[in-house]
Amino acid sequence: MKKTFLILLTIIGILSHAQNKKTKDTTRTELDNIFVTANRTKTLRQETPVAISKITSKTIEETKAVSLFEIANKTPGVLMVNLGNEQHMMAIRQPITTNAYYLYLEDGLPIRPLGIFNHNALLEINQFNLQTIEVVKGPTSSLYGPEAVGGTINLISQKPSYYPEFKFGIQADQWGYKRIQAAGGATIGKVGFHVSGISSVQENSWMAHSDYNKDNLNIRVDYAINDNTRLISNTMIGKYFSDMSGSVNESDFYNRSYKSTSDFTYRKSEALRSRLTLEHDWNASAHSYLTVYHRDNKLGQNPSYGIRWSQTNNPTTATGEINSNNFKSYGAVGQHTQKFDFWNTTMVSGASFDFSPVTYWSYLIKLSATLNPGEAGKQTVNKYEIVSEHPELKIANYNADIYNTAVFKQISFSPVSKVTFTFGGRYDNMKLNYDNILDHSTGKKTYDKFTFKAGVNYNPFKEAGFYGNYSQGFSPPNITTIFRARPGTGGTTGKPAEFYYNLEPATFENFEIGGWVAVYKNKLNFDYAAYYMEGKNELLNIKLEDNTTDYRSAGETSHKGIEFGLNYTPNRQWHIRLGGTVAEHRYIDFKVSDVTTDAIQNLSGYEMPSAPRWSGNSELSYYPNWLPNFRASVECQYVSSFFQNQINTISYEGYTVFNGRVGYKYKNVEFYGNLMNFTDKLYAYNASRGNASSAQSSYYAAAPRTFLIGLQYNLCLKK
Residue 112 and residue 156 in contact, taking contact as beta carbons nearer than 8 Å: no
For every residue of 332-362, DSSP letters joined together read EEEEEEEEETGGGEEEEEEEEEEEEEEEEEE
Structure confidence at residue 33 (pLDDT): 79
Q: Which of 187, 193, 194, 184 has its CA nearest to residue 162? A: 187
Reported as a single tens digit per residue, the pLDDT across 96-121 is 999 899 999 999 999 999 989 999 99
Structure confidence at residue 10 (pLDDT): 40
Mean pLDDT for the stretch of residues 673-694: 91
- Percentage of residues in the chain with pLDDT exceeding 90? 75
Q: How far apart are the first and last CA of the chain?
A: 59
Exposed e or buried b per residue across 53-73, where buried means at least 16 C-beta atoms within 10 angstroms of its C-beta: bbbeeebbbbbbbbbbbbbbb
Residue 606 and residue 647 in contact, taking contact as beta carbons nearer than 8 Å: yes
Mean pLDDT for the stretch of residues 208-234: 96
Structure confidence at residue 540 (pLDDT): 79
DSSP-based three-state secondary structure for 13: helix
With a CB cutoff of 8 Å and minimum separation 6, the contacts of 411 are 345, 346, 347, 348, 422, 423, 424
Residue 668 and residue 169 in contact, taking contact as beta carbons nearer than 8 Å: no
Residue 102 and residue 92 in contact, taking contact as beta carbons nearer than 8 Å: yes
- Rounded-to-integer distance, Cα 33 and Cα 39, Å: 14
- Rounded-to-integer distance, Cα 321 and Cα 319, Å: 7
Residue 209 and residue 260 in contact, taking contact as beta carbons nearer than 8 Å: yes
Highest mean pLDDT among 223-237, 302-316, 366-380: 223-237
- The values of phi and psi at residue 217, to 5°, are -135, 125
Q: What is the separation of C-alpha 627 from the centre of its chain, rounded to a whole number of angstroms?
A: 37
Structure confidence at residue 9 (pLDDT): 39
Dihedral (C-alpha) 138, 139, 143, 146: value to the nearest 10 degrees? 140
Q: Does residue 675 have a pLDDT over 50?
A: yes
- Rounded-to-integer distance, Cα 328 and Cα 562, Å: 39
- Rounded-to-integer distance, Cα 284 and Cα 227, Å: 12
Q: Does residue 392 have a pLDDT over 60?
A: yes
Q: Does residue 14 have a pLDDT over 50?
A: no
Q: Is 497 left (phi over 0), alpha (psi -120 to 50) or beta?
A: beta
Q: Does residue 235 have a pLDDT over 90?
A: yes
Mean pLDDT for the stretch of residues 608-613: 95
Q: Does residue 23 have a pLDDT over 50?
A: no
- Rounded-to-integer distance, Cα 382 and Cα 71, Å: 35
Q: Does residue 5 have a pLDDT over 90?
A: no
- Rounded-to-integer distance, Cα 610 and Cα 630, Å: 39
CATH, range 2-271+278-324+336-716: 2.40.170.20
- Rounded-to-integer distance, Cα 191 and Cα 419, Å: 41
Segments making up each domain of the chain, as ranges: 2-271+278-324+336-716
Structure confidence at residue 492 (pLDDT): 65
Q: Does residue 4 have a pLDDT over 60?
A: no
The mean-pLDDT minimum among 4-18, 373-387, 618-632 falls in 4-18
Structure confidence at residue 510 (pLDDT): 97
- Rounded-to-integer distance, Cα 453 and Cα 139, Å: 9
Length of the chain, in residues: 719
Average pLDDT value over all residues in the chain? 90
Alpha-helical regions (H) of 446-578: 479-482
Q: How confident is the model at residue 597 (pLDDT cuts 50, 70, 90)?
A: low
More confident residue, 552 or 597: 552
Q: Does residue 643 have a pLDDT over 50?
A: yes
Reported as a single tens digit per residue, the pLDDT across 40-83 is 888 888 889 999 999 999 999 999 999 999 999 999 999 999 99
With a CB cutoff of 8 Å and minimum separation 6, the contacts of 184 are 164, 165, 166, 167, 194, 195
Residue 289, number of CB atoms within 10 A of its CB: 18
More confident residue, 31 or 241: 241
Structure confidence at residue 570 (pLDDT): 94
Tell me the chain's radius of gyration from C-alpha atoms. 26
Residue 706, number of CB atoms within 10 A of its CB: 20
- Rounded-to-integer distance, Cα 577 and Cα 53, Å: 13
Amino acid residing at 76: P
HSE at residue 244, side-chain half, CA atoms within 13 A, is 19
Residue 517 and residue 16 in contact, taking contact as beta carbons nearer than 8 Å: yes
Question: Can you give the pTM of this predicted structure?
Answer: 0.92
The mean-pLDDT minimum among 27-31, 313-317, 456-460, 528-532 falls in 27-31
For every residue of 383-435, DSSP letters joined together read EEEEEEEEEEEEEEEEEEEEEEEEEEEEEEEEEETTEEEEEEEEEEEEEEEEE
Q: Does residue 11 have a pLDDT over 60?
A: no
- The values of phi and psi at residue 104, to 5°, are -105, 120
Q: Does residue 451 have a pLDDT over 60?
A: yes
Structure confidence at residue 596 (pLDDT): 64
Q: Longest C-alpha distance within the chain, in Å?
A: 81
Residue 93 and residue 533 in contact, taking contact as beta carbons nearer than 8 Å: yes
Residue 554 and residue 586 in contact, taking contact as beta carbons nearer than 8 Å: no
Structure confidence at residue 27 (pLDDT): 40
Q: How confident is the model at residue 601 (pLDDT cuts 50, 70, 90)?
A: confident
